[in-house]
Amino acid sequence: MQEIKYFLTKSVLFSALLAFTLAEAVAAKTSVHKNEISGLLTWTAADDGFQIELIQLLPDFIRAIYAKHNFPAEEVERAASYCVFGTILKNTSEQHMSYRVADWRYRAKDENGKYGAPLPVKTKTQWLEEWRKVGITFSWTLLPDVGEFSVGDWQQGFTTIKLPRETEFDLIYKWQLDGEMHSGTLQNLRCAPESLVESN
């Protein structure tokens, strides 16, 4: 419950910011914050009219969310097996901004620090199609596949990455300003640990 309150409080009080540059450049301004109570990390970056914040979420937080909405136990565990981040996006430009999660990719590091091939980020639509097959109609929590933002607009939801606990990876993302494509890379993200004890 503490992590639920933490995520909701942060998302309401400030639309945290992360952004990226053209041609898969590293985000221009990136900061990492460690929560002194939980030990969990938040990455914030800002660049060229697009801001994003990624907040580590514990598996138990994910379990609590979906169990509360009566998901089958197998689906609760399947969702909790993903590397999940609370995600907040914001248009900080004076232009129309848009994004598509289908354009985003991640690449994980192995134990030798070498990157694997870029893989697609799982979309909300993919999750919903899988859930409908087992009778789940709940659709809240996940970051929408597509966002169309006017000046000052923001959006939030879960981003899910299929990686083991505490794996390091980069997120390669794209967005558009008035139809012009931009791309950037947020480096050295880390999946949350299994529990708070392991994060300290």
CB 54 within 8 A of CB 42: yes
pLDDT tens, position by position, 114-159 = 999 999 999 999 999 999 999 999 999 999 999 999 999 999 999 9
CB 167 within 8 A of CB 193: no
CB neighbour burial string for 105-120, b if at least 16 within 10 angstroms, e if fewer: bbebbeeeeeeeebee
How far, in Å, CA of 157 to CA of 18, rounded?
Answer: 14
pLDDT tens, position by position, 54-89 = 999 999 999 999 999 999 999 999 999 999 999 999
Q: Give the number of C-alpha atoms closer than 13 A to the C-alpha of residue 106, restricted to the C-beta side.
A: 20
How far, in Å, CA of 40 to CA of 53, rounded?
Answer: 13
pTM metric for this prediction: 0.84
CB atoms within 10 A of CB 137: 8
